[in-house]
Chains A and B, each alone.
Chain A
Amino acid sequence: AQKVTQAQTEISVVEKEDVTLDCVYETRDTTYYLFWYKQPPSGELVFLIRRNSFDEQNEISGRYSWNFQKSTSSFNFTITASQVVDSAVYFCALSEGGWRTGTASKLTFGTGTRLQVTL
């Protein structure tokens, strides 16, 4: 069975600080996808990134960066120079098997990390 753990329930930082959100996953599948979604106070789920299990390259997109390490089953998310607009709940998610079959699979979410960025 697949499982995603986000041990940090809530993080508070002051604007311009860097912050890292941790994500650890469990899966028996060798082919899987990892995702991060953002849920701002307005409630919608916004896709941030997808990573497949064969691509361990780190990725940077503006102030966002992701560090995927299969050896530790982790997919951590770092926000550099945080801003108030980054305040949201961030979910890490996992889907299994889709890469191999070419079919889309459901997502299993972690419990989320609430990030509060203050001035």
Chain B
Amino acid sequence: AAGVIQSPRHLIKEKRETATLKCYPIPRHDTVYWYQQGPGQDPQFLISFYEKMQSDKGSIPDRFSAQQFSDYHSELNMSSLELGDSALYFCASSLGRGQRSSGANVLTFGAGSRLTVL
């Protein structure tokens, strides 16, 4: 079965540079989530999109922006990178509106993109 595809898997940037991460959700999934996981920490919610509109926002820095495109893939843009942005970035997808009997659907996570800022 198709999974959530993230690219690139690894990325090395210098301070103050810009990085873009891409996420391709599972086919027919209309909701995308971005999480940031620092070393030894739990994943922290950044932002989510449902049907190409922002649906929720977490602890996403102002230097970061994201969007979901017409084909439902999403991109996370990070500018003015700082050392503290070094982390594993996960994208997850789900069906935004499940049947009431199933409710909130399971988030399926991609393998993650590891960003290292030097």
Contacts and interface: CB of A to CB of B under 8 A. Distances in A.
A45 interface: yes
Given A43-B112, A102-B99, A33 B104 contact: yes
B45 A47 contact: no
Contacts of B97: 102-104
Contacts of B111: 43-44
Interface in A101-119: 102-112
B97 to A, nearest CB: 5
Interface of A: 31, 33, 35, 37, 43-47, 50, 52, 91, 95, 97-100, 102-112
Interface string B95-107: 1111110011111
Contacts of B103: 31, 33, 52, 98-100, 102
A47 B108 contact: yes
A33 B96 CA distance: 15
Interface string B79-114: 000000000101010111111100111111111101
Interface residues of B, number: 33
Nearest to A99: B103
B86 to A, nearest CB: 14
B98 A102 contact: yes
B72 interface: no
A47 B106 contact: yes
Nearest to B34: A106
A112 B39 CA distance: 12
Given A99-B104, A104-B95, A107-B33, 6 more contacts: A31-B103, A44-B109, A45-B109, A98-B103, A102-B103, A103-B55
A47 B61 CA distance: 27
A43 B87 CA distance: 12
Interface in B26-85: 31, 33, 41-45, 48, 50, 55-56, 58
A107 B24 CA distance: 19
